[in-house]
Structure 1
Amino acid sequence: GEGKNLSVIERILKTVKIPVELGGGIRNLQAVEKLLELGVERLILGSAAVKNPELVKEACTKYPGHIAVGIDAKNGDVAIEGWGEGSGVAATELAKRMADYGVATIIFTDISRDGMLSGVNSEATAALARACGVPIIASGGVASLDDIRNVKKYEKDGVAGCIIGKAIYTGAVNLPDALKIAAAKEE
């Protein structure tokens, strides 16, 4: 929430030729405005969706198409503050509310699977997409190219993609192969 990484973000934006998505510590509309002015394409608001939903609503109204919400949940309950606190809010309830505010997408992390290389919770991700009507990006658990194929099966339900982290770093997933699968037309 202090903007300590602004110089790094600026360097990244100057270096890459792809859209940049950024999340973490965005707590007010001034931070949203500053980051979008720098050239960030989409901002992810996480804990703010629970603690300050009016910020999400205002940001979506002022910057349509540029605001995503990160919903991190375990057993259907939203966790906030870097997963350190429970919120007492159901993921589906929060997703529906954020859809009403106009978020462009929701990034759904099943925190019980994140970094575990145990497979994506595709069914829960698809159920969330069907419940709220907003494109959902699955996060947490990608272990192989089969997980990407599995996520792709739920495109018609509103699952728009998945985030791959540890599986790329460890070599379990080859990025060019993953991108080919993601780009393939449904059979």
Structure 2
Amino acid sequence: MLIIPAIDLREGRCVRLVEGRLDQETIYSDDPVAMALSWQQQGAEYLHVVDLDGAFAGAPKNLAIIKNIIAAVDIPVEVGGGIRNLEAIEELLGSGASRVVLGTVAIRNPELVQEACQKFGEGIVVGIDAKNGKVAIQGWGITVEKTALELALEMKKLGVQRVLFTDIKRDGTLQGPNLEATGDLARKSGLKVIASGGVSVLEDLKELKKLEADGVDSVIMGKALYAGTIKLKDALALAEAK
């Protein structure tokens, strides 16, 4: 299982939110590039970068910092947040991003997702963010009448091979991941799944690791790493253990 540290960008700084709420923000670093290098030095093999300003605005807002992060590290970087047109996708992948994560456009403009998949294959990941089982979009501010599984199956038909699943109620809370929903999505969709939201202790990772056979092949970690409830080296050792 791949452990992916998260770097969430807001106003040029590395932050974490609770349940995506701007009034529940903790600032962890004024230097996101240094933070990215630190995770790499600690053994990370992949990074997840989110442009929070972009997610709320509907267009990338921290592009310069994202490009600096990609240029500074030697490991793959996936990027999400406010990517809503082909030009933004092309710019990020052209700048060296390994994957881009599409969220709102999966609901608002599925044709774009299909076009992007045809052009970039596994470089396209769809982020499925769920609140009480329903999909949330536009910085998690709007919930639509569609379940995570319904969206996953629709995206599969369009060529998507991997989704990033977040249970919003768990994100940034350190309350543990939604194992049932994550495993269920992987099994019923047949897609590769990146788990996100709520990981707080090593036991959470042990439980997620049991879902590898179902297709959950990686997990994004944010708050647990920044708050120190899990050390990255311990997470990596657990992930690599047979």
Runs of 4+ in 1 over 3 A off after TM superposition: none
Unaligned runs of at least 5 residues, structure 2: 1-57
SS in 2 for 1:118: coil
SS in 1 for 2:236: helix
User: Which moves more between the two structures, 44-53 or 100-109?
Assistant: 100-109
User: Which residue identity lines up with residue 33 of structure 1 in the other structure?
Assistant: E
User: Which residue identity lines up with residue 137 of structure 1 in the other structure?
Assistant: I
CA root-mean-square deviation: 1.0
Deviation, 1:3, is: 3.2
Q: For residues 32-75 of structure 1, what are the alpha-carbon distances to aligned partners after superposition, in whole Å with 9 as ceiling and x for unaligned? A: 11111111000000111111111111100110110001000022
Asked if the contact 2:60–2:81 (Cα under 8 Å) also holds between the matched residues in 1, the reply is no
State the alpha-carbon separation in 2 of the partners of residues 76 and 132 from structure 1: 15
Residue 8 (str. 1) matches residue 49 (str. 2): no
User: Which moves more between the two structures, 103-112 or 165-174?
Assistant: 103-112
Relative contact order (C-alpha < 8 Å, sep 6+): which is higher? 2
Match of 1:110 among 144, 149, 167: 167
Match runs of 1:1-187 below 5 Å: 1-185=58-242
User: Which moves more between the two structures, 156-165 or 59-68?
Assistant: 156-165
| Identity %, equivalent residues | 55
User: Which residue identity lines up with residue 31 of structure 1 in the other structure?
Assistant: A
User: Which residue identity lines up with residue 188 of structure 2 in the other structure?
Assistant: A
Q: TM-score, normalised by structure 1?
A: 0.96
State the alpha-carbon separation in 1 of the partners of residues 195 and 61 from structure 2: 28
More strand by share: 2
Q: TM-score, normalised by structure 2?
A: 0.74
Q: For residues 63-90 of structure 1, what are the alpha-carbon distances to aligned partners after superposition, in whole Å with 9 as ceiling and x for unaligned? A: 0110001000022110111111011111
